[in-house]
Amino acid sequence: MASRLSDSAPMRWVYLTAGWVSLALGIVGVVLPLLPTTPFLLVSAFAFSKGSDRLHDWLINHRTFGPPIEQWATYRAISRKAKWMGTLSLAVILSISLILDAAPWILWIQGAVCIGVCLFLWTRREPPASNP
């Protein structure tokens, strides 16, 4: 079987760097509402697949990060829990902006982005229930 790694050593470093940066942004996205986690994990999985079999396998098999990557890759699906967490975090950040009396134009932009993100989240299918 052909290796999925890049043949060029400099390109492997580019992929590894992109993988780590994407993974870091994905981790930050867990706590920052408007920074999505799963897309960064997907980019990280792709980059690691080109730069390091070991890191790719680690990420895909990770207890926390692996399932959303697998669900998206296999079903183009987002779990209901992830949808609710995303929606809740968007509501929290918008509420904070309201409490801090942000400028109206900022609230309009945030509101539009929140609506767009929620529409995207809730129009994605959910992965099939796993059998215990």
- Give tens-digit pLDDT for 65-101: 899 888 988 999 988 988 888 888 888 889 999 999 9
Other Cβ atoms closer than 10 A to 127 = 19
Domain identity same for 61 and 82: no
* pTM of the predicted protein model: 0.70
Residue 2 has a pLDDT of: 42
In the predicted structure, residue 123 carries a pLDDT above the cut 90: yes
Domain count, the chain: 2
125 φ, ψ to 5°?
-70, 165
Please give the mean pLDDT across all residues of the chain.
Answer: 87
Name the residue with higher pLDDT: 124 or 35.
124
Q: Which residues have a Cβ under 8 Å from the Cβ of 68 and sit 6 or more positions away?
A: 37, 38, 41, 78, 79, 82
Domain range for 96 is 78-132
Other Cβ atoms closer than 10 A to 83 = 16
Name the residue with higher pLDDT: 73 or 122.
122
**Polymer length in residues for the chain:** 132
Domain identity same for 12 and 68: yes
Domain identity same for 126 and 84: yes
Q: Which two tokens stand for residue 70?
A: 């697998």
Domain identity same for 20 and 84: no
